[in-house]
Amino acid sequence: MSRPAMLTVDDDQAVARAVARDLRRRYGRNFQIIRASSGAGALDALRELKLRGGRVAAMLADYRMPQMNGIEFLEQAMDLFPHARRAILTAYADTDAAIQAINVVDVDHYLLKPWDPPEEKLYPVVDALLEAWQAAGDREVEEVKVVGHRWSAPSYRIRDFLASNLVPYRWFAADEPEGRRLLDAAEATPEAVPLVVTPDGQALSAPTAAEVAAVVGLSTAPVRDFYDLIIVGGGPAGLGAAVYGASEGLHTVLVERRAIGGQAGQSSRIENYLGFPDGVSGAQLTERARLQAGKFDAEVLTTREAVGLEARGSARVVRFSDGNELSAHTVILATGVSYRPLAAPGVATLVGRGVYYGSAATEGPSCAATDIYIVGGANSAGQAAIFFSRFARSVTLLVRGDSLERSMSYYLIQQIAGVDNIAVRTRCEVIQAHGDEHLESITLRDSKNGTTTTLPCGHLFVFIGAQPRTEWLDGTVRRDRRGFICTGPDLLVEGDRPTGWDRDRDPFYLESSVPGVFAAGDVRANSVKRVASAVGEGAMAVTLVHRYLEAR
């Protein structure tokens, strides 16, 4: 039998030659390397290969191509070779589209250009694609399937959980033919949604996030009884601490209640992070950090909600909502902050059914040709406005202040000003949300003139406030009046150390009122609320962990 083929398509001739050269260098002995310069040309090559009875192991397509982009090409190529593994070649600016392709169009992976050196950035991905193709053989390649209702809050939570954790899935509406077939096969009623069907055929009706995590391959259980370092929170600070802790030889475990990346992971594009001149999506930055932590053998556990912390002798113990606990020499609290609930009548009952906290990128395609509203005036709201402007007919930023200048970065303000379908309404707030099964309209109050207006609205995204989730630390570590964790010099009152402090030294700079328990990132009182500073504090906290361990 002839060698199976690997196909690459890119309209940039220099890139196309480089891809083919790198693939031929490593895989040319066992695979035919076919190069095309357009989607149409690649489809012609695949049709000819199909007629000759050939096989295709993998297809790599550039996202930005004229006439037919990479996603459109792969959709058609799937009809010819449905078992071939598929990857999108993309630049940093297009990573959101690549992630959408993974979650919606059944793409297996995406590769960032440039990938020099290929030994580190190209070959490991291609190796994984080929291993998956060889393992599947002629069997149909399945993905996680989710069946639910469009305006069901539980269905939205499952979709958002999978997307936030970069788990590929395919969505089926419960009232459409394929959705009904899946429900019938699982002997589930349309009311028993969401239904999650795993690649091996296991069906879960109305599962919890923890149950879904367990069946889709996310780690939820620790492998050790005792660690050097427990990190609570998987945002930039937690990931920074995990990378530095594990790379410096500490037995490290990071626990996250929802999805790795935190609020930063939801950002559609971060343009002021050092080293990414073209910007980087929060999901891409998060995934790179997670892989880097795994490279150094840090454990990363999801769906583990911390509910208690205590000191037991020299050990620091974190208790979880499922009744289990973990022990370690030290703990870094990096739980970040959450968006404050919008206190307006009607909002709470419509969360997940038209009202969303955070960017909810999975809702992007659903916003097509609609008018959406975003509440908030900080960077996260601005990034969301740019993202949703690609889908929606119009995007309106609702800001309580007089302008964006005091709360949003200059570069974002300039970008927003340059997008025709984004409008900014200042001194304006939502005072009520209306709708039965889903959000239908909102009432706004304009404080400039005291008038109120009710407007049609199907999507409302909320980015207000920054409140820490630290209630579970009540009575254990000192917090300020807003709930942020006090550390280092902030713990000293007129030179006196915290009550109960049992060390013959002052607390280290990021150390809390409990020796051996540190705080990093947005959850720490008086911290700088930026991704770069959070990563830096995570790394700095590990340095202080070493000092603590040496001084015990």
Q: In the chain, pLDDT over 90 holds for what percent of residues?
A: 60
CATH architecture, domain 348-462: 3-Layer(bba) Sandwich (3.50)
Residue 279 has pLDDT above 90, yes or no: no
**For the chain, domain boundaries:** 5-136, 144-215, 226-338+467-551, 348-462
> Domain spanning 5-136: which superfamily?
Response regulator (3.40.50.2300)
Q: Are 355 and 462 a contacting pair, CB within 8 Å?
A: yes
- Return d(Cα 490, Cα 16) in angstroms, integer: 57
- 37-48 pLDDT, tens per residue? 898 999 999 988
Q: Are 115 and 122 a contacting pair, CB within 8 Å?
A: yes
- Return d(Cα 379, Cα 409) in angstroms, integer: 6
Q: Sheet containing 441-446: which strands, arranged edge to edge?
A: 428-434, 441-446, 451-456
- H/E element holding 229? strand 226-232
Residue 101 has pLDDT above 70, yes or no: no
Residue 360 has pLDDT above 80, yes or no: no
- 301-333 pLDDT, tens per residue? 999 999 999 999 999 999 999 999 999 999 999
Q: For residues 428 and 79, which has the higher predicted lDDT (pLDDT)?
A: 428
pLDDT of residue 139: 47
Q: The whole model's pTM is what?
A: 0.75
What distances in angstroms separate CA 536 from CA 104, 240, 519, 530, one per listed residue? 35, 7, 12, 10
Least confident of 289-293, 324-328, 451-455: 289-293
- 140-196 pLDDT, tens per residue? 445 789 999 989 999 999 998 998 887 888 899 998 988 888 898 888 887 788 999
pLDDT of residue 140: 44
What pairing do the DSSP bridges indicate for beta strands 467-468 and 337-338?
antiparallel
pLDDT of residue 137: 61
What distances in angstroms separate CA 325 from CA 136, 169, 235, 316, one per listed residue? 38, 31, 21, 10
Least confident of 72-86, 124-138, 242-256, 348-362: 124-138
> How many Å is the Cα radius of gyration of the chain?
25
According to DSSP, residue 399 is labeled: -
Does 226-338+467-551 match 348-462 in CATH topology?
A: yes
- 497-528 pLDDT, tens per residue? 988 899 999 999 999 999 999 999 999 999 99
227: β partners: 328
The band of 95, judged by pLDDT with boundaries at 50, 70 and 90, is: low
CATH class of 226-338+467-551: alpha beta
CATH of 144-215, one of 3.40.50.1000, 3.50.50.60, 3.40.30.10, 1.10.760.10: 3.40.30.10
Q: In the chain, pLDDT over 70 holds for what percent of residues?
A: 95
Section 194-207 average pLDDT: 90
Q: Are 434 and 353 a contacting pair, CB within 8 Å?
A: no
Least confident of 29-43, 72-86, 457-471: 72-86
How many Cβ atoms from other residues are within 10 Å of residue 23's Cβ?
Answer: 23
pLDDT of residue 141: 43
Contacts of 506 (CB under 8 A, 6+ apart): 488, 489, 492, 497
